[in-house]
Structure 1
């Protein structure tokens, strides 16, 4: 590991390198390029103070197995993207705050002002630039405790890969072993090449946007980041989720159908948000379900594949059906939606994306789920199995995890709860600003938590989408 440093006031900036460079040029897949070079920030909050020098040393060692993260993104002659593994390095900022660690949690999230704990990179200043694909900001709080803010370029990794790297780093830091990742993007190209039939079949949940349509979507996202969209959060306890699943399974008694706890929670959120939106009975309600497809095509894409391997499906029903059907039937529809992710469908989708790239149209392709987010789709991204609360750098696990507020309305993120609340779920919902006051009325909190017993019920907590000091 090598690290160079510069100082500015209370902050020190380092460039952390693995100390070795293969010079390989890793060609990004069509799924990587579909995402684009945006960054995904995450922050981990620790009661104990972390050792910055030791973190930089273990990060450098970990980068030897993840050379793509210390490389730089390049444009290929055919318009594609690659990462040159030249070990140009990761930016690591170490800072000291003048305030004590707030008592973050479900009633006081860290979204307001989270940017101060992150070291951002410009997403439109990445290709053919000396812009790091991963950045770290370690902030030590007055009186003890540290905040570890991480940003990673989404074009190189999905959520599962992101957390696989962070978990590997934490294990490397503690002298533990971890599985080495596969960076072979050729498996995605092989997946597409093996598809049978017309590649257009794979466009079921993808849209080739019309002229100006994608730009209009980006403008609406920008409006959301300026305060047009607000994030509301709440916590569902393990007991509450168990009751929810029991009700769903009771609804399905005698049908031989099974649903998971996450299916039941997803169905419940879809139903309540459907009631809240109050669209006409005949309106088509869609549920966007984000899913990792590694397990579906296990023989073609290994579990240790490090990159983007995410697809989505969109089960639907009318607004009247969504409101009237029992929880179990809606949960079964959720389960059926995930079941659409067959090996054949994933191969066809990969083939469609490759065909669009060859035709020069991949930049115009968007997920239909995303494109419809402002209208008929509620999109749910379930992170509840990701190891957010297992990231231990020798000073214990984080007591809180957070990420910036979402900018696209009707988007829902489900996260695990800390170790002392094992089995629960923290749920974040992005809503149009004008609807936030309504959903905070007690009647809506009662609907979200209708399966809770007489014990503690978590309120719907509102946080501004834009940092305010």
Structure 2
């Protein structure tokens, strides 16, 4: 009897990638105030690459590891380790300990995986990442897993410690790695924490404190958090709040995004040249969908707080590597 194997992931290779040229130095990269308040947790990015030509050398291990080692010469803090320097602060010890690199095989095709909406019932997305929790000093700041499908397609799972980088910085590093692999010049990051230092003698006014308290208020007299016993163990909860929403994977295409942007502009906005970016239009559409799904009264005010890249609000910070969200 020939029983076909159910799709599953099997790790096949694991190594540590260090900078191709030693970057050892006595200096540590200090963390900014924005870095310090971030959690010691990994931020995931999962990217999928099709291989329509079935090229056996597509995203080869040698090309990926060599280009990663080369790009780490410029992004050398990512090969270091976090160290406690006292007074509630951490720093990056630049010791060239390396980035975790792992490969795995997925026993099905990427084409079938896509047809199932990127979320087959038997699939566990956690298995597409080489590490999930930061627990000790020796844990890497960056970890990568290359998952290869039977049709030559690839999933690239990247974890970067939020304590040292926001999403913008994560993408800056990935862009540099990709360009290094193709032999194309890339932008080099800056780790100058003085660029985001708080100016001296900055006063926190009563107005700012009132705004903070209003945004973080807890309504009602009873502030005890009561957890629904039927709620999944690791799901988020809130005082008397509804059960958490399920995860939803959304797939966007350029033509749909352009149509969304066109629909977001009213005749008055066009007449007065009030333009929304594609990202703003997308977030507005998603926010409207969430509000409508919750059956909120048309008269009820609904607010959304969203972190954005602070580099767009200041000059000279395009290549700043760290956390700078507002």
Output the TM-score relative to the length of structure 2. 0.77
Give the deviation of 1:36 after TM superposition.
Answer: 1.3
Q: Among 60, 76, 80, which residue is 2:85 paired with?
A: 76
Per the TM alignment, residue 163 of structure 1 is displaced from its structure 2 partner at its CA by 0.8
- The answer to whether the 8 A contact 1:293-1:310 is kept is yes
Shift in alpha-carbon separation, 1:266–1:96, aligned structure 2, 3 A: closer
Provide, for residues 440-462 of structure 1, a one-character-per-residue CA deviation record: whole Å limited to 9, x for no partner: xxxxxxxxxxxxxxxxxxxxxxx
| Number of equivalenced pairs | 291
Instruction: Name 1:446's counterpart in structure 2.
Output: none
User: Following the alignment from structure 2 to structure 1, what is the Cα–Cα distance between the partners of residues 226 and 324?
Assistant: 27
Is the CA contact (8 Å cut-off) linking 2:11 and 2:102 kept in structure 1? no
Deviations 1:346-405 (A, max 9, x none): xxxxxxxxxxxxxxxxxxxxxxxxxxxxxxxxxxxxxxxxxxxxxxxxxxxxxxxxxxxx
Q: Rate the CA distance shift 1:62–1:154 in 2: closer, same or farther, 3 A.
A: same
> How do 1:111-260 residues align onto structure 2 when only pairs under 5 Å count?
112-123=123-134, 125-126=135-136, 129-189=137-197, 192-194=198-200, 196-198=202-204, 204=211, 222-224=234-236, 228-235=244-251, 237-247=253-263, 248-252=265-269, 254-255=271-272, 257-260=274-277
Residues of 1 paired with 2:289 and 2:78: CA distance?
40
Aligned partners of 1:74 and 1:81 also within 8 Å: yes
Return structure 1 stretches of 4+ with deviation > 6 angstroms. Answer: 206-210
Residue ranges of structure 2 left out of the alignment (5+ in a row): 1-9, 52-57, 238-242
Query: Hey, what does 1:22 align to over in structure 2?
Result: 25
Closer, same or farther: CA 136–267 of 1 in aligned 2, 3 Å: closer
Matched residue, 1:11: 12
For 2:110, which of 98, 101, 108 is the aligned residue?
101
Aligned partners of 2:81 and 2:141 also within 8 Å: yes
The verdict on how the C-alpha distance between 1:304 and 1:90 changes in structure 2, with shifts beyond 3 A counting, is same
Q: Residue 73 of structure 1: SS of its match in structure 2?
A: strand
Does the aligned pair in 2 maintain the 1:121–1:132 contact within 8 Å?
no
Q: Take 1:100 and 1:130, find their aligned partners in 2: how far apart are those partners?
A: 35
Mapped to 2, the partners of 1:199 and 1:221 lie a distance apart of 40
Write 1 or 2 for the structure with the bigger share of strand. Answer: 1
Separation in 1 of the partners of 2:68 and 2:94? 16
Q: Of Structure 1 and Structure 2, which has the larger fraction of its residues in helix? A: 1
The whole-number CA distance in structure 1 between the counterparts of 2:207 and 2:112 is 50
What does the per-residue CA deviation read over 1:169-204, in whole Å, with 9 as the maximum and x for residues that have no partner? 111112211111101112222xx1256443665554
2-structure distance, mates of 1:216, 1:168 = 46
